[in-house]
Chains A and B, each alone.
Chain A
Amino acid sequence: MTITIQRGEVVEVARGSQRRRAVPGMGLLDSLGVVWKHWRESFRQNRDFSDIHGTFTEQYPDERPNLPEAYRNMPILLFDDETGHEFCTSCFQCQRICPPQVIHMTQAKDTTTGKAVPSVAEFIIEYDACMSCGFCAEVCPFDAIKMDHHFELSTSDHASLTVHKQELNRPVSYYQSIAPTLWEEAKAGAYKKLQGNIKRRPDVIGIAPHLVDRIAARRAELAAAAAAAPPPPPTAPAAPPAAAPPAEARKLTPEEKAAKLAAIKAANTAKQSGATPAETPPAAAELSPAEAKAAKLAAIRAANTAKQAGTVPAAEVPPAPVDEKAAKLAAIRAANAAKQAGTAPAAEVPPAEPAPVDEKAAKLAAIRAANAAKKAAAEDNETERN
């Protein structure tokens, strides 16, 4: 029998034989027959779904369910097995798309420059409100967040359902084991992007924090690289000995940064004072001894920093581009500073006394370097305690 419905589709409906329906109530018996067949067949296990009869039940706690690859329960974060680097770049895409808004994160910052780094410092998912929609995994451009198969999350402690990065981190090999073909598809792109991001992650930022030995190894590597670089000239007053023994290696990098910062600032200031508007007579002509000293110092510092900076990523990157980069950066900064100075009311910088400015700048730089060193030391202590 066919039924035509409004939209013009035709539905085939199989009816029982009309002859049997001549006796009323036979349809009722037919339906009893259907149930009887299900009852009788249900004593047979049916695991291959070969037909609609049989028992499909899995005895769950005894038998583990055979989950399909695309099964999704709760999101997890991936990190690379070898380098320990997390794939997440803190791009906030997942946080933005999450319908119940349960993803929260803080972007990692370079401790010395304060600049954002493509890595995530803290990442929180409220599992209790997550609805397992998988949007976060779909949207992540870096394949950093994936849906896990683990579903036994019951707990007597509500707070433990607010899950932090530490508990969210899983090695890629784990994800590969639960979803091999899915990872195969995503793998190449994910690693390519990760390599690019590692280059932009200074120090040990981006390495999964629980991989303590990996971080230590990386720090040792950095220290070794630093040690291989030529020692700085002894005249460098504010910069700590760059060729520190490996034990000091951990402190080295932040201090380096601090020194670099100070140097750049000093240089900028020097330039600024040099490039102040035309009312100022040419600086070189009236250089006081103090000025000359300060400028020299700044120059030495800048040189040192440049050298050191060049040796830092020596393992992976040829030093030249970095130097270039640093130089470029300095140039840009200088230009900015000049602009600023140009637009600022001239009265602010008394043109007749460039010396105190220089002195001030040098002093400031020194203080900043000292502070940074202290801070780095404090942080180190903290991490050690942890």
Chain B
Amino acid sequence: MYDILDGLINSTLGFGWPSWLISLIGYVLVATLLFAVAPFQMLFFTYYERRAIARMQDRIGPNRVGPEGIFQPIADGVKMFTKEDIVPDAADKRVHLLAPIVVVAPTMFMFAVLPWGPGMVPVDLNTGLLFFFAISSISAVGLMMAGWASNNKFALLGAMRAVAQMVSYEIPAVLSLLAIVMMTGTLSVVSLINAQGGLFISTNDVAGVPDLGLGWLIFTPVGLLAFMCFFIAALAEGERTPFDIPEADSEIVAGYMTEYSGMKFGLFYLAQYILNFLLCAIAAVIFFGGWQGPGVGWLYGMAISPTNPDGSWIFNLLAGVLGVFYFLAKTYFFFFVMIWIRGAYPRLRVDQLMDFGWKFLIPLTLVNVFSAAIWVAVTSWGVADGFGLVEGWSPMLRWGVAFVTTLVLNGAAYVIVARIYNSAQAARNRFDVDELRESLALPR
């Protein structure tokens, strides 16, 4: 952004403004854009979800407001705005008011490090990933505030569940990202994407492959397992089925949102859908190369960028459009998968949720970290690191060995952990049934 504005104002128009002013203008512009885009994404997602889930249930979904019902979310928004805002008498009024704000604000922060296209990232933090996940857990505080301040047993139960779930599932999510960080050696979201250029054999490690923007981490065994674990954890963090326990409407009304109405409720809704969008987006960025795709790298090579200040702005535009297209296509696809999962699976029980997180996902992600270490050792270590064995191998061979080793390791780990988990669950179910029988004094 800075480069484009600099090029436009100082070079093309020749104003010679100071760089801080250009930065300021750039940030204000970007912030404004993001605040306009985020609610729009939320509106679209509500419509998208309703239509998609309807199709999975052999229905059509909302199709009466506007062509194919596209204005349905706007009608819903108007409804939200015009509803009465009810605060319970027994509520802690100030906390009750603050809670939705505390929930929404972090989701907006998370946009700061989200790259939309080549060169289109609001802030390129070198700890972008860390920032993203650190900020996302702040909303758990807001949820607890909402549940506590409402002075309602369902709200409190929902909030407890939400916090327990978020805290538990952040561990597998971050552990699976740890493997990725080890492989790419960076915490910056932008360099993470840059590392996913090239062909799908490996990342950019192998010299001489054309840059088709297909070096996505999902094509490596480490990345695949990390993606699976991360996506499941993301479902839990975004409170999507089968982990929608905090707002299980058949059990605890609406969880922490029970006592909210009108636009405050709307804010929770907004936060949730934006969080879902962000989780889908970050999954696309980390494992599916974000804006990477055939053609983007080539176009961006000819555009104005820090490394190439003499490029043409038209290529900025083209690369941007294509990059954003790829990025959004991937993001929407992941959201579709979330809906798909919602259509297929029932809700878990709280104890099952905890079991799954602690006894299945965390062991798997730990194994995956180990695999990532092997990957790094085989593909990039040498004599200097005390691993002279691979020194003489060609890059292709190194890549192949790393791929096969990690594939076998991860596959075996998955099957073993899953089986142990299965039999443990089955044994526990039997135990539960026995206990039930005893308590009811039923004959065996």
Contacts and interface: CB of A to CB of B under 8 A. Distances in A.
A55 B340 contact: no
A43 B421 CA distance: 39
B344 interface: yes
A55 B58 contact: yes
Interface in A18-73: 23-25, 28, 31-32, 34-36, 38-39, 42-43, 53-57
A57 B60 contact: yes
A53 B340 CA distance: 16
B356 to A, nearest CB: 12
Interface centre among A24, A28, A38 (most CB of B within 10 A): A24
B60 A35 contact: no
Contacts of A53: 58
B344 A39 contact: no
B25 interface: no
Contact of B55 (A24, A25, A42): A42
Nearest to A33: B344
A35 B415 contact: no
Contacts of A35: 56, 340, 343-344
Nearest to B242: A28
Nearest to A36: B340
A43 B55 contact: yes
Contacts of B419: 24
A55 B60 contact: yes
Interface string B407-423: 00000001100110110
A202 to B, nearest CB: 56
A44 to B, nearest CB: 10
Interface size for chain B: under 10, 10 to 19, 20 to 34, or 35 or more residues? 10 to 19
Contacts of A56: 58
B52 interface: yes
A214 B344 CA distance: 64
Nearest to B52: A39
A156 B414 CA distance: 62
Interface in A302-347: none
A34 B418 CA distance: 23
Contact of A24 (B57, B340, B344, B415): B415
Contacts of B52: 39
A54 B57 CA distance: 9
B55 A39 contact: yes
Interface string B323-361: 000000000000000001101110000000000000000
A151 B408 CA distance: 64
Contact of A54 (B58, B414, B422): B58
Contacts of A23: 415
B94 interface: no
B344 to A, nearest CB: 4
A53 B56 CA distance: 10
A24 B418 contact: yes
A20 to B, nearest CB: 13
A55 B56 contact: no
B340 A39 contact: yes
Contacts of A28: 344-345
B56 A38 contact: yes
B83 interface: no
Interface in B2-60: 52, 55-60
A65 to B, nearest CB: 15
A42 B56 contact: yes
A31 B344 contact: yes
Interface in B131-150: none
A42 B340 CA distance: 14
Contact of A38 (B57, B345, B422): B57
Given A38-B57, A53-B58, A25 B418 contact: yes
Contacts of A43: 55
Contact of A31 (B58, B345, B421, B422): B345
Contact of A39 (B56, B345, B415): B56
A55 B415 contact: no
A21 to B, nearest CB: 10
Contacts of A39: 52, 55-56, 340, 343
A33 to B, nearest CB: 9
Interface in B400-434: 414-415, 418-419, 421-422
Given A24-B418, A55-B60, A34 B344 contact: yes
A42 B415 CA distance: 35
Given A38-B58, A39-B55, A39-B56, A32 B340 contact: yes
A38 B57 CA distance: 7
A90 to B, nearest CB: 46
24 contacts: A24-B414, A24-B418, A24-B419, A24-B421, A24-B422, A25-B414, A25-B418, A28-B344, A32-B344, A35-B340, A36-B340, A38-B55, A38-B57, A38-B58, A39-B52, A39-B55, A39-B343, A42-B58, A42-B59, A53-B58, A55-B55, A55-B58, A55-B59, A56-B58
Given A25-B418, A42-B58, 6 more contacts: A24-B419, A28-B344, A31-B345, A39-B56, A39-B343, A42-B55
Q: Which 3 A-B pairs have the closest CB atoms?
A: A24-B418, A35-B344, A42-B55
